[in-house]
Each structure stands twice: as structure tokens, then as C-alpha cells.
Amino acid sequence: MSIKWKRLLVFALSFALLLPVWTANPSTADALTASGALGPVTPKDTVYQIITDRFVDGDTSNNIPAGFDPTLFDDANQDGRGDGNDLKLYQGGDWQGIIDKIPYLKNMGVTAVWISAPYENRDTVIEDHKAGGGMDRWTSFHGYHVRNYFATNKHFGMLQDFEELRDALHAEGIKLVIDFVTNHTSRWQNPTLGFAPEDGKLYEPDKTSSGEYAFDANGEPYDYNGDGKVENLLADPNNDVNGWFHGIGDRGNDGSRFGYRHKDLGSLADFSHENAAVIEHLEKAALFWKSKGVDGFRHDATLHMSPAFTKGLKDAIDSAAGGPVTHFGEFFIGRPDPKYDEYRTFPDRTGVNNLDFEYFRAATNAFGHFSETMTDFGNMMLATSADYSYENQAVTFLDNHDVTRFRYIQPNDKPYHAALAALMTSRGTPNIYYGTEQYITSDNSSDIAGRVFMEKEVAFNENSTAYKLIKKLSDLRQSNDAVAYGTTSVLYSTNDVLVYQRQFFDKQVIVAINRQPDLSFTVPALNTTLPAGTYEDVLGGLLYGASNTVTTVGGQNKLSSFTLSGGEVSVWSYNPPLGESPKIGDVVSTSGRAGNTVYIYGTGLGGSVTVKFGTTAATVVANNDTFIEAIVPNVAAGKQAITVTKGANVSNSFIYEVLSGDQVQVIFKVNASTVYGQNIHIVGNIPELGSWDPAKSTEAMLNPDYPIWFLPVSVPKGTTIEFKFIKKDGAGNVVWESGSNRVITSPTSSTGSADTPVYTWQ
């Protein structure tokens, strides 16, 4: 069957990163990497998001770490445990609490856990003064106010506790994703107190005589130089002598790309990602945590970060020992939004996929508010499948820590369950927000109200319908590749009913949903490519579904007409073996340079196979029927089609971007006047600059100080680059500079950054 696939002690950090990633217990893993690690999150996985402080308190001894103000721990009854009442304060959840609930997670079908940032955060009070008097007191329980990337958050545990969590999860075949913040530190000015100086400081451990960070035998920073301190001030946004922060102030209502990328998000001290020292520190921090055996990074606030920096950070992480890991980020939009085109192309430009806010928006409106129809929801799935290059890697969700609880919007069980069923069977990689399976709601529509202390709210009931639903459909996602890797087609839709099909070659899953809780609808007979026969409801009637029959009528197979009762969801699966012919379902990562590791997922991948990038063969390191580990060969930079050949059979192709080399930054600058509708772009002789094709030039340059334009661009290090500036308008008209090609040489350091002169348009 032909399908169009678009994806057609003192430890020296540098030494630690050369070590192989720790080895997991291989007994429960679908496909192990050559190192023995579980490998990245894939579309076969079901992710469970935990705000660490808000899950379970497994170790009360770390509730009030040394030096912490005890009034910032929510314990009015003084029993040593969080009360779950003042959600602005710490509640006590920790890594031991997650370990204690691993059986609960595994029994739900969870195969990956996304936890709060594991490193040290600002631990002093955050005071918000109210307009009418009074004050709110906040803490950094969420993990988004970094203080020191190389020490653990002591509210969650020590480094050994983190490693125990990693090992316990991996032993059960559950992958570990950490939240990671490289956009900002903490709040450096108080917007409720006239923007008075506040904090935002960044610290680092002592350094040894060789210049490496000093860690003791347990991996903890210690007082190496005997000055009574275990950490040292590295950067202060209120005394920014080395230019670590942009320091421009709050974004406010500035909706420009410059405003989003260079101004502060809520007065959080915004890193200057153009500064080579900043790049070096942030890459070193990410590699430090990769070396601890994590399987992925959820990148915070990617909407607010330079794509050039993000691309280089991702490249540095995946090029380090241990191979590629999962990357997805928070590019927070809500359509209609002028940034949608940026959002949909961000994974192509950086290699970091998105938390799927477009899916969230459509699901909220269709299943929550009922402000859009099920036809609208189906159209969203079709449109985004076309818009996203790697739609099955987008991380879909109904709710998370940045939005209100879905249960607050939809209190009726039937559409609530229908939304969960759609999430678990739609294209993308589903993410379950902690407690969604237990119907956790919130007191109001704010995100903070939804960040409840789960152990105080529910009894971790493994018999809830939502819990069992997630388990059944997680199992289906694991067993039938149509859900993980397949295309999406809509077979039937109305205002309230949607029938859609996921298909990977001959494997198929059909999902029929009625969102209305109290109305029944009859669906007519539908043409199908399913073979004749009877198909049982995968959910076993959990959501009132039933079996259905396919018969042949006049040479056309048809799914028999059926009636969907209120809230009914039926799921029918056809899962035949696909034989020995190789078929690619997914590839991680989607970009990298020659010599990088790449993981290929699908079927028929075992035995003697040849992997090619274009026409160039790659080295195969390990493989089995569902998995290949290979090395990116030396091929021309740019998009290359990966194929797998076994005997006379050649697989479908998957598009992979081969980078020109180790990515660094060049900040291009030019003085140029334009007419309304024109923007300045850069085009040049390397793929990152479009290889002289104006249609593949850089994004539009930024112009906060018009007529001066600038743009950070990710380019290969140590490379002589020829380029020119061009003017483009919305109709695609192009005006080239005159004169000779301009020439620069990019920095030779792997974390380098360099500014060009301010050229004058010629």
C-alpha cells in the first residue's frame, strides 16, 4: 500500500560527558539503544506530567531544607506535611514520592514521566504587593526560577535521590523527561513595587584547580576552596557587568518577535542568548543533566527564545555521548494568532518539537466549552497533520500547568472521557497532566488553582474510568502502530460526532466519538479499507461502545451503520503483521550532523538491513524488528531522505535535516531602508542561509531600532561564509543587494558567538 510520508570525589564535567550513559534494565524496554538506555520518548509513549512538589511527599525530611524560611511551607497544622491549601507555598512533593507511586503509574500505562526542573531554584520569598493593600507571598515550587543548574533542588532530594528515581523508573521501562529552563533565571525586578530590584541571580559551584566544577563523592557541590561557601555568584541582572541578560524590561504589550525574544517574561531576568559565555554555561548545564541519564528535555518558554540559540543547544545535547534524546518545548500560542506560522515551523528550524497548543485549543473548544464542533476538531487534526512536518512527535494535551484544569471546564464525565479517548488515539504523543485521571479540578480558572497537591485531593484510585481508559489506549498505542505512526483521515463528522481513522500501511484504528452526554446519533454505513469481519470495541464497552461489522457491498467494504449513545466512544483495531519488508514509522532525532546517532522506529527493521541518507549508506550500530540505531554518514548538508533496504525491499522515506556542522551563532546586522511590507532577510552559500535560494533564506531580521536590522543565525563553526541581504515582501518579491558577496568566518569555538559589523545596504 502506498502512503505519502512527509517525515517521507571531584568529577570533571568534560570527563563525565565522555562516559557512556548508564545502562537500564533491558527486560521491559521495547527497543534498547546500543548503550542499554531506554532511548527517547516516541509516539508510542504516554507521558505523565508531574509538578514534583504537588504529587506525593515521600520524604518529609526535605520539606524544610537548611536555611529555608519555614513559613513558606504550607503547614498550618504543624504536622510536618503540606496542607494543600495555600498553593503559592511549597507542599512537600519530592522524588521519593514519585518512586512510591511508580506501580500506580505503570498500571495506568504510563511509559514516560515529565518532572519539574531538578536543579536548585531561588528559595526566598516572592512578594506581590496588592493595589488595595496587602501582599501575596509566593515560592518557586514549580522549578522555573533557576539559581544554580549544577545542584539539585533540595526540596525534591539530593543527587542520589534523583538517580534513584531515574533507576526506579527505568527498571520499569518508564522514561524520564526533565523540565529545563534556559530562557531566564528568576524575577529581577518587582513589577508590583515600581520595578524595584529583586533577585535573578545565577550561581555556580566552586571550581577545582583544573577549572572544573567541584563535586563530592555523592555528586554534590562542596566547599572546595574553603571559603565557607559551596557556590559562587556568576551573574546578577541588577549588576550585569558581563552582559548575561538583555535587561530591557517587561515585554508588556509588545507583540513583536523582538519583544517576545529579548524582553522579560513577567520580569524574569532574560538571558542574552547571543553572549558566548551564556551559551557555554547553558550548554554545559544541559550536558550535565544529560550525563545523569535523562531521556528527554521539555524546554520552557521556547516562544521567548532565539531559534538560533535553541537549535545550537539541541545540537549540543544530541551530539554529546549517549545519543539523541527527546526535545519538546512550550511555544505558547492560541489561535487566531499571528505567530502560528512561527509555531508550526519551530520544530523544523530548531529540531525541538512543540507542546501542541493548537491541539489543546481545539480540544478545549470541542470537548470543553462546546464552542466549536466536532467537524472543527476533525479539521484541526487534518490541517495540523499537513502543517506539522513531524506531527506524531508533537506533544498533545488537554491541560497542563500553564492552563486551567480540563475538569474545571468540563465537569460532565461523558465528554470528559470522550476528550481523553481522542487525546490517546490522535496523532501526536499524548501527555496526561497529573491527576487528570482522577478528575482533579480547580477552584477557579487560573493555572495556579490547578496545581493542587494531589495526595491531599485523591486516593490514587486505579479503578476510575479515566484511569482504566488511559491504560487501555496506552496499550493500544504500544501494540498498533497505526496510533503511534499513522496518518489521520476523517470518515464522518457532524457538530457532535466524529469518526476518524489512523492508518500505518495495513494497520488501522477507527475511533467513533459522540461528545453529547444525553443525545444519540446514527452514523451511516461508511466506506472502509478494513477487511470484512467483526471488530470488537478495544475499550470493552468502558465508554458504552460496541462491536461493529465490515461487509462487502458491490465490491466496496463498508463499516455497518451504527448508533452512538450519549457519550459513547467505540475503538476498532485491525493489527495485521506487516511482514519482513521494512517500514519507517518515526525517527529521533529529526536533525543532526555527520557522526551523530539516529534512532529509526517501525517494523521489519531486523536482520540484514542497509540504512541510507539519500544514496549514502549509514553505519548500523544495532537493530531488531522495530528499531535501528545508525550513525549519520558524511553527506551533503540539508534535507536527506532516510530509507531502509532489506533485500529487494525499500522502505518509505523519512526526511532528516543534516546540519553543516557544529552549530554556533553569528549575529548579522545591516542598515537598510524598506517600504511598507518589506523585510530584510539573509541568503548565502550554506544551507543555514538557504544555499542562495531566496525562498529558503533566513526568517525576517529584527528591527527595534529601524533602519538597523539584526538577526542571530545558527551556522557551522569555523566556516567561511558568503552571503547577501535581500528585501522580500508578502507577495514573495525579492530585491537583492548589489555589489560583491559579503564574506565572514564563523567562530571556531563550539559555543561561540560573533557579531558582524553594521553593514550598509548596497
Q: Active-site positions? A: 300, 330
Question: Exposed e or buried b for every residue in 492-516, given b needs 16+ CB within 10 A?
Answer: bbeebbbbbbbbbbbbbbbbbbbbb
Peptide bond into 589 cis (omega under 30): yes
Of the candidates 120, 147, 117, the residue with the CA atom closest to the CA atom of residue 50? 117
Return the number of other C-beta atoms located less than 10 Å from residue 675's C-beta.
8
What is the distance of C-alpha 144 from the center of its chain?
A: 15
Strands 663-671 and 753-760: parallel
3 state DSSP class of 164: helix
What nine digits make up the cell of 121?
531554584
Of the candidates 324, 316, 319, 332, the residue with the CA atom closest to the CA atom of residue 296? 324
Within 165-201, strands assigned E span: 175-180, 184-187, 189-190, 196-197
Beta bridge partners of 671: 708, 760
Helix and strand numbers (H, E) in the chain are 15, 45
Beta bridge partners of 353: 328
Strands 296-299 and 175-180: parallel
Cα 180 to Cα 310: distance, rounded to the nearest angstrom: 12
Is residue 760 within 8 A of residue 742, CB to CB? The reply is no
Within 55-199, strands assigned E span: 112-115, 119-121, 126-129, 135-138, 146-152, 175-180, 184-187, 189-190, 196-197
Cα 746 to Cα 720: distance, rounded to the nearest angstrom: 7
What nine digits make up the cell of 224?
572546595
Return the number of other C-beta atoms located less than 10 Å from residue 524's C-beta.
10
Is residue 82 within 8 A of residue 57, CB to CB? The reply is yes
3-state secondary structure 659-719: CCCCEEEEEEEEECCCCCCCEEEEEECCHHHHHHCHHHCCCCCEEEECCEEEEEEEEECCC
